[in-house]
Amino acid sequence: MTEHRIPLAGVIGNPVAHSRSPRLHKHWLKRYGIEGDYVPLHVVEDDLEQVIRTLPKMGFVGVNITIPYKVAVMQIADQVSDRATLIGAANTLIFRKDGKIHADNTDGYGFLANLRQNSRWEATAGPAAVLGAGGAARAVIEALLEAGVTEILLTNRTRDKADGLRHEFGSKITVVDWVQAGNIVEEAALVVNTTSLGMTGHPELRVPLDGLQPGQVVTDLVYSPLQTRLLREAEAAGCSVVDGLGMLLHQGVPAFERWFGVRPEVDDELRIAVLG
């Protein structure tokens, strides 16, 4: 007789105590009446591989991966999805029944699903302005191109990093100097902040925003605070605004479905549960 095992999932990081993922997944487990659990796992670098290889033996069906291991886990996985390969990082591991570890990146999916749930944005609406060229920007750019955006205006404080993304992702990307960020904000149908500027404990985003106009969609990946200066000014200018919390919620959907077999919903009740 096979032993009844409670399916477990979790999030691996260092630090990890701040992660909102346990609230997210525990809410869904409860809502769908699934006997399972989701735990934060603080792991030091030297133990990363051993922990990942041990978890499936303990009933884990998968884990989320957060800072600083999103790149390192790509080497440990047996299989990496195309989108994780393109982004160059993974945020989700699935421990398959055949013993193989599958790595995926659901950030880009979460970004688009959030945009589509909360605005009327369409890929054909016009150029997208992307501020920032870090890890989150890679997921956003991959998702925008996959969705069919034909022009991305990209700007980053360190221009080399933006040029590097253009080199990797191709000629649909036009790199603009950071000092000219205000101009691309004006020209774009969609404006996305992927920098950490505006986040609690970080400097404010100081890009000139007076060019924002009604009809534009503006979204910020920063969700703490929920209403950043960018979103506040965009709302005042009559733009359609989408906060970053929705991206966090939506990126969990494909992972939860693969781990627990139910495709969960993102709604207000979930937002409230995750905000606490």
Catalytic residues: 70
**Interface with ligand NAP (CB under 6 A), residue from 185, 197, 253, 255:** 197
Compute how many other C-beta atoms are within 10 angstroms of the C-beta atom of residue 211: 16
C-alpha distances in angstroms, 3 versus 6, 59, 61, 99? 10, 11, 15, 18
Establish if 142 lies at the interface with ligand NAP (CB under 6 A): no
Establish if 136 lies at the interface with ligand NAP (CB under 6 A): yes
Q: Which is nearer to ligand NAP, 94 or 197 (CB)?
A: 197
Shortest separation between residue 177's beta carbon and ligand NAP, angstroms: 12
Shortest separation between residue 247's beta carbon and ligand NAP, angstroms: 4
CB-nearest residue to ligand NAP? 134
Establish if 264 lies at the interface with ligand NAP (CB under 6 A): no
Establish if 175 lies at the interface with ligand NAP (CB under 6 A): no
Name, in order, each residue with C-beta under 8 angstroms of 141's C-beta and a sequence gap of 6 or more.
Answer: 130, 152, 154, 165, 169, 173
Establish if 244 lies at the interface with ligand NAP (CB under 6 A): yes
Establish if 76 lies at the interface with ligand NAP (CB under 6 A): no
Q: Which is nearer to ligand NAP, 91 or 216 (CB)?
A: 91
Establish if 132 lies at the interface with ligand NAP (CB under 6 A): yes
Establish if 222 lies at the interface with ligand NAP (CB under 6 A): yes
Sheet with 217-220, edge to edge strand ranges: 173-177, 152-156, 128-131, 190-193, 217-220, 240-242
Establish if 56 lies at the interface with ligand NAP (CB under 6 A): no
Q: Are 39 and 10 in contact (CB under 8 A)?
A: yes
Q: How far apart are CA 110 and CA 262, in angstroms?
A: 17
**Interface with ligand NAP (CB under 6 A), residue from 135, 252, 254, 264:** 135
The greatest distance separating any two alpha carbons of the chain, rounded to the nearest whole angstrom, comes to: 68
Q: Are 56 and 98 in contact (CB under 8 A)?
A: no
Stretch that binds ligand NAP, among 9-17, 26-34, 127-135, 183-191 (CB under 6 A): 127-135
Shortest separation between residue 251's beta carbon and ligand NAP, angstroms: 6
Angle at 263 between CA 259 and CA 265, to 5 degrees: 125
Name, in order, each residue with C-beta under 8 angstroms of 166's C-beta and a sequence gap of 6 or more.
Answer: 154, 173, 174, 175
Q: Are 105 and 92 in contact (CB under 8 A)?
A: yes
**Interface with ligand NAP (CB under 6 A), residue from 55, 74, 144, 199:** 199
C-alpha distances in angstroms, 6 versus 3, 35, 52, 253? 10, 6, 18, 20
> Which residues contact ligand NAP by CB under 6 A?
107, 110, 132-137, 156-158, 161, 194-197, 199, 203, 221-223, 244, 247-248, 251
